């Protein structure tokens, strides 16, 4: 039985940077990633350890955060705000960090580690503590920009054989309509979507309207990373649903985007919206407005992936997400068991307390290139 008045005193924080090489380079409209600089938070409260991942990229080409800005903000501003504090629930971390503007991914790493602790202390799977109900989550894949259509078709073929339920293609100007046309011709029936990562301008409306002929589930973030209004102008002229990714940093952005008609689908990324508390709020707004959601990915290690799976058990996550098997990214992940996807294209939500995966501490240490440790 959990004690009547439950509190967690945050008595230690460890920040680590791991160097992890992806199995293959991943290309979007704005960058190519091969060596990931993964930041992990390990928090301790009342003898229990919880883990979170900061999903910032190495450079500020997806959002404004980077590995190094996150390190700076955690060390110089977040640790002093949370270390030694007692909280009754992980949601309170959000208010402790509230004075800090932006830096959602850094905040999420810290807050999510405390969620892991709370779930362990209460003996609940994190998914259940968050309010998740789904026993398994549907999975798709995000395929980076490829050198040739032949290579892309071969990749799609192997992902479909593995069971993945939908395919997302990264696109950019010059690598867009012809590629989508070729894929659609080979696979007339598959659930297909594209992600532009903000590579287009509203003036390219004719090109963007041409996507309407390919029966796409959605076009993700075609316009500027911070411009909801222009997406509303575009959505009014597109039949294909727009899905916002980069634009949505908090519940208020989701509310604005939905009310403006800027999107018909939202991709929720835990890091981008500042952690589980705000992710759940964005989810709830979407459910109230009949906007389907799915879980996006940031090429996470197993720890970020485990948090994504827990969040994806919330009932509004009705579309296949970008959360896929550990083996698609890493020769060896840092959790065990690794994340596996069934032949039906689903991941089972763990039923053991906390994240539901063990941390391979030895592997974490081997991959660590720097760390800092704080006690009150």
Q: Which is nearer to Mg ion, 58 or 332 (CB)?
A: 58
Considering the complex, what minimum distance in angstroms separates the CB of residue 35 from Mg ion?
Answer: 21
Q: Coil, helix or strand for 199? A: coil
- When binding is defined by CB under 6 A, the residue of 254, 298, 339, 359 that contacts ligand OSB is 298
In whole angstroms, what is the distance from residue 341 CA to residue 15 CA? 30
Number of amino acids touching ligand OSB (CB under 6 A): 11
State phi, psi for 326 to the nearest 5 degrees. Answer: -50, -40
Cβ(53)–Cβ(38) below 8 Å: yes
The stretch near ligand OSB (CB under 6 A) out of 230-238, 277-285, 293-301, 355-363 is 293-301
User: What token pair was written down for 10?
Assistant: 């945050």
- When binding is defined by CB under 5 A, the residue of 195, 270, 353, 356 that contacts Mg ion is 195
- Find the catalytic residue in 107, 170, 175, 191: 170
Considering the complex, what minimum distance in angstroms separates the CB of residue 31 from Mg ion?
Answer: 12
Q: Which is nearer to ligand OSB, 296 or 345 (CB)?
A: 296
Considering the complex, what minimum distance in angstroms separates the CB of residue 71 from ligand OSB?
Answer: 19
In whole angstroms, what is the distance from residue 189 CA to residue 64 CA? 37
Q: Is 176 in the site for ligand OSB (CB under 6 A)?
A: no
Which DSSP string corresponds to 224-267? -TT-HHHHHHHHTT-SSPEEESTT--SHHHHHHHHHHT--SEEE
At residue 298's C-alpha, the angle toward residues 297 and 303, to 5°, is: 85
Site for ligand OSB in 90-129 (CB under 6 A): none
Q: Is 53 in the site for ligand OSB (CB under 6 A)?
A: no
Distances (CA, A) of 217 to 141, 232, 283, 308, 358: 14, 18, 19, 21, 35
Q: Is 27 in the site for Mg ion (CB under 5 A)?
A: no
Helix, strand, coil percent values for the chain (each to nearest 5): 35, 25, 40
- When binding is defined by CB under 6 A, the residue of 52, 275, 296, 353 that contacts ligand OSB is 296
Element (H, E) at 207: helix 205-210
- When binding is defined by CB under 6 A, the residue of 274, 297, 302, 350 that contacts ligand OSB is 297
- In the residue annotation, 85 being an active-site residue is answered as no
Burial class (CB in 10 A: 0-12, 13-18, 19+), 172: middle
- Find the catalytic residue in 107, 168, 269, 280: 269
Measured over the CA atoms of residue 156, residue 157, residue 158 and residue 160, the dihedral's sign is positive
Q: Is 322 in the site for ligand OSB (CB under 6 A)?
A: yes
The stretch near ligand OSB (CB under 6 A) out of 106-114, 128-136, 206-214, 291-299 is 291-299
Q: Is 159 in the site for Mg ion (CB under 5 A)?
A: no
Q: Is 51 in the site for ligand OSB (CB under 6 A)?
A: no
Considering the complex, what minimum distance in angstroms separates the CB of residue 348 from ligand OSB?
Answer: 19
Q: Tokens 């796409």 appear where?
A: 216
Q: Which residues lie near Mg ion (CB under 5 A)? A: 195, 220, 245
Catalytic positions, written as ranges: 170, 269
Q: Which residues lie near ligand OSB (CB under 6 A)? A: 28, 62, 142, 195, 197, 245, 296-299, 322
């Amino acid at each position: 039985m959990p004690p009547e008045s439950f509190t967690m005193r945050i008595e230690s924080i460890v920040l680590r940077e791991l160097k992890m090489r992806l199995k293959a380079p991943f290309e979007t409209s704005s960058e190519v990633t091969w060596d990931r600089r993964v930041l992990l938070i390990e928090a301790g409260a009342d003898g229990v350890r919880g883990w979170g991942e900061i999903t910032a990229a190495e450079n500020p080409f997806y959002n404004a955060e980077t590995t190094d800005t996150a390190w700076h903000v955690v060390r110089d501003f977040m640790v002093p705000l949370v270390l030694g504090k007692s909280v009754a629930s992980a949601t309170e971390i959000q208010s402790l960090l509230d004075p800090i503007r932006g830096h959602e991914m850094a905040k999420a790493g810290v807050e999510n580690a405390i969620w892991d602790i709370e779930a362990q202390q209460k003996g609940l799977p994190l998914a259940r503590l968050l309010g998740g109900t789904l026993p398994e989550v549907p999975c798709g894949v995000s395929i980076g920009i490829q050198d040739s259509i032949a290579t892309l078709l071969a990749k799609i073929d192997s992902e479909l054989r593995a069971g993945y339920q939908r395919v997302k293609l990264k696109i950019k100007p010059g690598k867009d309509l012809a590629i989508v046309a070729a894929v659609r011709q080979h696979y007339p029936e598959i659930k297909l979507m594209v992600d532009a990562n903000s590579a287009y301008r509203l003036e390219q409306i004719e090109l963007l309207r041409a996507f309407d002929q390919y029966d796409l589930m959605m076009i993700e973030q075609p316009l500027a990373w911070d411009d909801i209004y222009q997406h509303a102008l575009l959505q009014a002229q597109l039949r294909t649903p727009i899905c916002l990714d980069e634009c949505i940093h908090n519940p208020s952005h989701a509310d604005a985007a939905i009310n403006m008609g800027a999107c018909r689908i939202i991709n929720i990324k835990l890091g981008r919206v500042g952690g589980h508390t705000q992710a759940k709020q964005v989810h709830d707004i979407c459910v109230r407005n009949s906007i389907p959601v799915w879980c996006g990915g940031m090429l996470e290690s197993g720890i970020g992936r485990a948090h994504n799976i827990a969040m994806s058990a919330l009932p509004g996550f009705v579309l296949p997400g970008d959360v896929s098997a550990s083996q698609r990214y890493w020769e060896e992940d840092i959790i065990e068991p690794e994340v596996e996807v069934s032949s039906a294209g689903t991941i089972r939500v763990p039923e053991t307390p906390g994240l539901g995966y063990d941390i391979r501490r030895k592997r974490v240490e081997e991959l660590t290139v720097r760390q800092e440790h704080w006690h009150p």
